[in-house]
Amino acid sequence: MAILVASQNPPSAGAQDIDPYRVGPGTLAGRYLRLFWQPVYVGSELPAGKARPVRIMGEDFTVYRGESGEAHVVDFRCAHRRTQLSIGWVEGDNIRCRYHGWAYNANGQCVEQPGEPEPFCERIRVRAYPTQEYLGLIFAFLGEGEPPPLQRFPLGEEDGVVEVLSYVRNCSFRNNIENDGLHVYFVHPRPSYRWREWTSPPTLRVEETDYGILTHTTGPGDRRSQGTHVMPNISYRPYRKELGDTIPTTHIAWRVPIDDRTNRSFLVEIVHLTGEEAERYRANRDPADLHPYDHTREIIDRILAGAADLDEVPGLGLIAASISNVQDGSAQEGQGAIPDRENDHLGHSDLSVALERQIWTRELRKVAEGKPIKRWTLPPERDLGAED
């Protein structure tokens, strides 16, 4: 177990021969991410009998839901004349190409060629990918060989109100992953985070664990919190949702590359209320809570273009989740789509970032050398320290 404590100097990012930002087919980071199940679509946004195009890690795919209700992921194009399969139609659990009607089953096998007097279906196949639906998200295994078990999150499976959301950031997925805990004092100003009143900066201790990284923060007034990063690209933590009262909530977020320069966050939040309390919560919540990111893209673009001021955002009448998204989006995209990490100057506040970069460099080097990667587990509940 690697531990970095406050008394140590943080390691320099340094020049690396391992590129963690390029995620397309054949790249080291792309190969590494494809060793894990990744969410590719929000389940509620895909009706039965419909197909949609989706781009993940620099590749295009077709996701469709059969009339049975099962979700499937197959190649982007038909094997016949390379037409986009998502413009076709779904029949049972098959998908039929719109161009000449070739049909494929959920395993990618061609099962019908209407225009061929002597069909040769048995010789035609598009690639199909293992697909599972979990916590309201459609997951696919996009790598080679037998997939590992889909990672499960016990807190996410508890009874409660499940809210599934997603948003796109115009930057590398790593900008989102490296959103360290101390940024809240500056990016999300609020009365409980008065950094100008510090008598001394917070102290950090970070450690590599069996699941990823655990960060211990001791702030002003001996205020303590923990943050967890589950490898390779998951944020997993409880917190208290403030909606007139504080409600225990579990937050799970996957930071998934669309390509090298954009990423989509898939968020699952389980509000731990049941029975009448859950019904009251559903009835009383702001309708904007269901679509908190609908208008944040435009605001982020205006801020980065200098046409709006980030300090004005709390006064725009947005709900808390929308305000936070604008603040984080402006800071993360403001680093550049693919950041110039060679000119970073890391300090004590970046201990978790430095350790995360070290781990990624180590694991990608194993991929390059054909060595076994570290097998990550889930954090025990004692490591899931909610923010104060």
Got the DSSP string for 183-230?
Answer: GHHHHS--TT--GGG-SS--EEEEEE-SSEEEEEEEEGGGEEEEEEEE
Residue 148: cis peptide before it, omega within 30 degrees of 0: no
Q: Look over the chain and give the mean of its residue pLDDT values, rounded to a whole number.
A: 89
**Which position has the token pair 């781990």?**
359
Q: Residue 67's CB: how many other CB atoms inside 10 A?
A: 13
10 in Cβ contact with 209 (< 8 Å) = no
DSSP class per residue in 158-174: SSSEEEEEEEEESS-HH
36 in Cβ contact with 232 (< 8 Å) = yes
Q: Which two tokens stand for residue 341?
A: 């990490």
Give the pLDDT confidence score for residue 145 in this predicted structure: 93
Give the pLDDT confidence score for residue 45 in this predicted structure: 97
Q: Where are the alpha helices (DSSP H) in the chain?
A: 28-33, 173-177, 184-187, 275-284, 296-304, 320-333, 351-369
Local structure of residue 95 (DSSP, 8 states) = E
360 in Cβ contact with 20 (< 8 Å) = yes
Output 14 or 79, whichever has higher pLDDT: 79
Give the pLDDT confidence score for residue 1 in this predicted structure: 37
Q: Across the strands, what pairs with 235?
A: 229, 253
Q: What percent of the chain has pLDDT over 70?
A: 91
Which pairing describes strands 51-56 and 38-42: parallel, antiparallel, or unpaired?
Answer: unpaired
Q: What percent of the chain has pLDDT over 90?
A: 68
pLDDT classification of 192: cutoffs 50, 70, 90: low
H helix or E strand, kind and range, residue 181: none
Give the pLDDT confidence score for residue 387 in this predicted structure: 46
For the chain, how far is it from start to end, CA to CA, in angstroms?
Answer: 27
Q: Residue 342's CB: how many other CB atoms inside 10 A?
A: 9
Arithmetic mean of pLDDT, 304-320: 90
Whole-angstrom distance, CA of residue 39 vs CA of residue 153:
14
Q: Across the strands, what pairs with 266?
A: 166, 254
- In sequence order, the 6+-apart residues with CB closer than 8 A to the CB of 94 are 66, 103, 104, 105, 106, 111, 112
322-248-356 Cα angle (round to 5): 70
Lowest mean pLDDT among 66-70, 99-103, 214-218, 230-234: 214-218
Rounded to 5 degrees, what are φ and ψ at 126? Answer: -105, 160
Q: Across the strands, what pairs with 380?
A: none
Output 378 or 99, whichever has higher pLDDT: 99
Give the pLDDT confidence score for residue 382 in this predicted structure: 63
Q: Which two tokens stand for residue 143?
A: 């790598």
pLDDT classification of 242: cutoffs 50, 70, 90: low
Whole-angstrom distance, CA of residue 354 vs CA of residue 225:
19
pLDDT classification of 4: cutoffs 50, 70, 90: very low
- Mind listing the pLDDT tens digit for each residue in 263-310? 999 999 999 999 999 999 888 888 888 889 988 999 999 999 999 999
Is pLDDT above 80 for 12?
A: no
Nearest to 356 by CA among 2, 51, 50: 2
Whole-angstrom distance, CA of residue 222 vs CA of residue 388:
11
Burial class of residue 200 (count of CB atoms within 10 Å of its CB; 0-12, 13-18, 19+): exposed
